[in-house]
Amino acid sequence: MFNPLIILAIVLIYLVLLFLLAFWVEKKAAAGTNIGNNAYIYSLSLTVYVTAWSFYGSVGKAASAGMLFLPIYLGPSIACVVWWTILKKLLRIRNTYRISSIADLLSLRYNKSLRIAALSTLIMVVGVVPYISLQLKSIILTSSLISQKFVNFNMDLGLIFVLSLIFFTIIFGARRLIPTERHQGMVVVIAVMGLVKLISFLAIGYFVTYYLFTGVQDIFTDFLHHPGSRQILEIQSSKSYFFTWASYFLLALFSFMFLPKVYHMSVIENFEEKHIFTAMWLFPLYMFLFAVFVLPIAMAGLILGYPAAQADVFVLALPLNSGHPWVSIFGFLGGFSAAMGMTIVSTLAVSIMVTNHFVLPLSNYFKRLNFLKRYVLLSRWSTIAILILSSYWVERQIGAYFSLVDMGLISFAAIIQLVPAIIGGFYWKRANESGAFLGISAGFIVWLYTMIVPLFAQNNTIISSLVKSGPWGIGLLIPEHLFGLCSLSPVSNAVLWTLFFNISFYIFGSLYFEQAREEQLLLEEFVSVPVPRIFPIRHIEMPTIDSGSKMNRIKALFSQYLPGPQAVERANQCFFSLSLSDKNMISILELSDLRNEVERLLSSFVGVATAHQVLINFDIFTPEEEQTLKRAYSDIIAELKLPPSELLAKIDYYRDRELILASQAKELEEKIQERDNEISTRKQVEELLRNSERKLADILDFLPDATFAINTNGEIILWNKKAEELFGKKASEMLGKGNYEYSIPFYGTRRPALVDYVLHSSEEIGKMYVNLRKEDGSIIGEELTLSAERGGRHILGTASPLYDFEGTMIGVIESLRDITDQKKTETEIMELTKNLERRVAERTKQLEAANKELEAFSYSVSHDLRAPLRSIGSFCQILVEEYEDVLNSQGKDYLSRINNAVNRMNMLIDDLLRLSRISRTGINYRKVNLSKISWEILSELMKDNPNRKVEIKVQPDVIAECDLDLLRIVLENILGNAWKFTSKKEIARIEFGTVVQDKKTVYFIRDNGAGFDQNYIDKVFLPFQRLHSTDEFPGSGIGLTIVKRIIDRHGGNIWAEGTIEGGSVFYFTL
């Protein structure tokens, strides 16, 4: 748990670092380095789609409805497959018409309609508020979770975050008046936030899966026995689940394509079309990685006893409550990044729409509001503040009653009301403004009724009654079960009926109402906009219009919205783009082009619809000039000398021809791009090839062997430094020479070498070499050379063919190594090997003789030494039995000592014989159950000492690959010692088991007996070395020596640990 001030400090530091990054990127962009012009940054900026809904809410949805979270990730991933076909068109429309928003796009398609733009903006505003509320709820909820409640901390933490979001949203994204200008700093920051989101979520997922649990299988196994699993299975098998899943999928798919935030990042901030193709695989990969740990985190929270109602905060609650608050802080920054990125881009995009399609049209209609034109940027800032504060109010009103995912779906359902008009506008030429307006309006009204009205049912009894029973008690009009479809979820119900009414009215309106003539003309350009427009040859007109006066008028127009210097710059830009800057007089047709360019440029910061309305009311043309323009067009038509029907046919012909030429131009553009790519690739390959050749030459020069190469004509093409040293010839002297020139410095004469054998495979050449062999395509041969300068030398040659890219042999390379010293060493090694073999044979004979002597000694010990001992023991027994009355107590004591000494001597002889046999006995490896043997030994010891209290613990089924008889001796000795040395304990404890050390099984026997001094550990396994007297604990001192010998013969190790009176542990491996 953290002090709220610490949370605020961490967040502010994080935001300041992001601002500094954005400032640095913008500064580099001003200097000409476009850091944002990068395919990976562009792809990561699209992860603005991943908001707090995905970061927190998907876990909450998984905990309550299982796989219902998946469409939120799957929809955008599938969208990427077909996205490029639409996105490329959107990019080219944007570049051609300078559109800055979805509302601009729709108004442009539908006759530059202001009402379409305004309606689209209204839907965006109403739809985005719940979505921003979701982000604020996540920040407030999670910051409260990880912060302590202090008595003296009375500030509203949520309000502080809201004000911070307003401030940083403005400085990150709304500092420029022209919205179509790229915000590289913001784009890079969004990309960085995308990485923070992903890494933090993966870190928490890994922490939960592999720290709190032992892996995914562990979580799934435990969850199968959890009551929540049955509940989720019931939900997933319900009739409505499929429709709900499909609804989520459609919402996610279309929202990804047309959400204001994603549209802004994918279209407005795009540098190059080719970046789309990187995004097509990188973004789905990002979504896949994000979805990997959603189910494990959700299941883990339920397994650990958290209620499903709190699943939205499992991401932070699990590490926090397990004692790892800093992991939660890292996760909080990831969630904050998700919420912050969405808020910045969405409010920026919506503020542009509100300003362009609400504020500026009102300022045009009402003269008292004309001053607002000079405060466009301030209007956007105000809109951002109002949007975020409104969202905060909504969160306070209804946030407690809905999960994060439910709030997000409300916004998604609003956005898709624009989808039929957008998709239909691209592909249905009959679609018109009236149909689009009717369709969007109908869908929006149904959305308000089915999704917004139920939101406020919690706090209003009238609305609550309407939601439960329908208006006037009409059950068919219940908002969440419209027309009696009770089997659908509220989300599926809303999606079905909003799209039904939307599409129905869209089709009806488009078929019933006629398209305006201007809309028909614009339609061709809009639908077939994939390539730049092709302008026909102009009718020649005399320049009669003063360009200076028109420049002043255009400056006056721009100055209504821009400061003086910027207004002048934009006016000059219009003249420059049409090559009119140096003309004092322009023609009427050039003035027409100038007017269109002004409208296009004005659209970039006031919107298409507003710019169109402004130009209608702004007098760039005087009445006389309008008449002149009409006459010019009349003259052009008159010159054609065609009747109207034929003229229309010609227009259609040239229009079709333009489309064909446009298509051909597109193909040509693609071919040119392919050629440029090929040239670029070829240059890169050539450069890489040159670098490779340089590197290869450097590598060959530093090879330790003399190396040269020849082409198929036998001419030298390579001669490295070692060859210069060995042959005494410089590369400059040898390169390009043929006719066996390479042999002269080495052999003193012209003769074939190993390279020639590779070229010609001649048996005559092969006879010159000994041990000629082929390995992996190379020829290796040895030869003894004789020369006056170098004497007799053994040379090892290796030759290999050289191939080109097509697999054709272009030469041979050979390396030569002087192995004379190696040959001498081999000869010496052979002599040493013979001597070693002779000495081994002699040593073997000696060992065999020693073994025979040892066997004889063992026999002698077994028979000769035991005989006198048996006699001594027998006489002692006779004295005890027959002269017991004669002997006094001292005599009896002496006899007892003699008898004990005899027994110890017999025991010692037995142990020595056993040690001798063990050293000679062969090992029969097989699987042995050491646990079973241990129990047998301990059972025998308990039978012999039934009165002892001993706690015995034997690990079951300890299996080892070993010799059964020898390991029984090991266990008998160690367990016998444990039994013996715990005899003075009131309650003895003996344990046999295994542990794993360095991936090896280690066996151990532990007791709580007398133990030993660790300083004398070196004596434990030596023969006749005892750490306790025989009076305390009897024994020969050979047992552990036998144990060590057996373990050594098994290739293992044995060691011990102990403390005086603290017991001991004996470890061994096999």
Q: Note the pLDDT tens digit of each residue in 48-69.
A: 989 888 888 889 888 888 888 8
With cut-offs at 50, 70 and 90, classify the pLDDT of residue 95: confident
pLDDT for 176 beyond 70: no
Question: SS3 for 1023?
Answer: coil
Q: What tokens were used for 809? A: 């042999």
Please give the pLDDT value at position 788. 44
The pTM for the full model equals 0.58
Terminal C-alpha separation, the chain: 51
pLDDT tens, position by position, 600-641: 888 877 778 788 778 777 777 777 777 777 676 666 666 655
Amino acid at position 323, single letter = G
pLDDT in tens, 401-414: 555 566 677 888 88
User: Which two three-digit tokens encode residue 245?
Assistant: 């899943």
Quote the DSSP letter at residue 373.
G
pLDDT for the residue 151: 41
At residue 129, the pLDDT reads: 87
Cα–Cα separations (whole angstroms), residue 774 to 87, 747, 771, 799: 59, 24, 10, 10
Which residue in 626, 658, 635 sits closest to 540, CA to CA?
635
Read off the pLDDT band of 536 (50, 70, 90): very low
Q: Flag whether pLDDT at 397 surpasses 80.
A: no
pLDDT over 70 (residue 102): yes
Q: How confident is the model at residue 207 (pLDDT cuts 50, 70, 90)?
A: very high
Tally of CB atoms within 10 A around 803: 11
Helix intervals (H) in 448-531 = 461-469, 490-512, 517-527
Q: How far apart are CA 639 and CA 649, in angstroms?
A: 16
Q: Are 116 and 107 in contact (CB under 8 A)?
A: yes
Helix (H) or strand (E) holding 1064, with range, is: strand 1064-1068
Q: How far apart are CA 93 and CA 531, in angstroms?
A: 9
HSE of 977, CA atoms in CB hemisphere, 13 A: 27
CA distance 800 to 819: 19
What confidence score (pLDDT) does residue 286 get? 93
For the segment 345-369, the average pLDDT, to the nearest whole number, is 85
The per-residue pLDDT for 150 is: 45
What percent of the chain is helix, strand and coil (3-state, nearest 5)? 70, 10, 20
Q: How many Cα atoms sit within 13 Å of 227 on the Cβ side? A: 4
Mean pLDDT of 149-155: 48
Residue among 116, 304, 141, 290 at smallest CA distance from 204: 290
pLDDT by residue (tens digit) across 805-829?
778 888 899 888 888 888 888 888 8
- Specify the pLDDT at position 911: 65
The answer on pLDDT for 136 being more than 70 is yes
User: What is the β-pairing status of strands 716-719 and 770-775?
Assistant: unpaired
pLDDT in tens, 274-330: 888 898 899 999 999 999 999 999 999 988 888 888 888 889 889 988 888 889 899
Specify the pLDDT at position 405.
60
pLDDT for the residue 934: 93
What pLDDT, in 10s, does the model give residues 680-717?
Answer: 778 887 787 777 767 777 777 777 888 889 988 888 88
Q: Which helix (H) or strand (E) holds 755?
A: helix 754-760
Name the token pair of 570. 């934009």
Tokens of 640: 């054609």
The encoded tokens of residue 668 equal 């040509």
Q: What is the pLDDT of residue 201?
A: 94
Percent share of the chain, pLDDT over 70: 85
Instruction: Name the DSSP letter for residue 181.
Output: S
**pLDDT on residue 438:** 94
Burial 294-317 (b: 16+ CB within 10 A, else e): bbbbbbbbbbbebebeebbbbbbb
Specify the pLDDT at position 786.
58
CA atoms lying within 13 Å on the CB side of residue 145 = 24
Mean pLDDT of the chain: 81
- DSSP assignment letter at 210: I
Nearest to 710 by CA among 617, 801, 578: 801
**C-alpha to C-alpha distances, 470 to 443, 476, 477, 478, 501, nearest whole angstrom:** 19, 7, 5, 4, 19
Helices and strands in the chain, H and E counts: 42, 15
User: Would you state the pLDDT for residue 845?
Assistant: 79
Question: In the prediction, which pLDDT does 538 show?
Answer: 46
Q: How many Å apart are CA 848 and CA 858, to the nearest integer?
A: 15
Predicted confidence (pLDDT) at residue 270 exceeds the cutoff of 60 = yes
Question: For residue 739, with 0-12 CB atoms within 10 Å meaning exposed, 13-18 middle and 19 or more buried, which class applies?
Answer: exposed
CB 612 within 8 A of CB 112: yes
CA 21 to chain centre: 23
Listed residue (354, 355, 351) closest to 343, CA to CA: 351
With cut-offs at 50, 70 and 90, classify the pLDDT of residue 539. Answer: very low
Question: How many residues make up the chain in this entry?
Answer: 1070
Handedness of CA 456, 462, 464, 470 (dihedral sign): negative
Q: What pLDDT is stored for residue 255 in this prediction?
A: 84
Q: Choose between 541 and 244: higher pLDDT.
A: 244
Asked whether the predicted pLDDT for residue 203 surpasses 80, the reply is yes
Helix (H) or strand (E) holding 781: strand 778-787
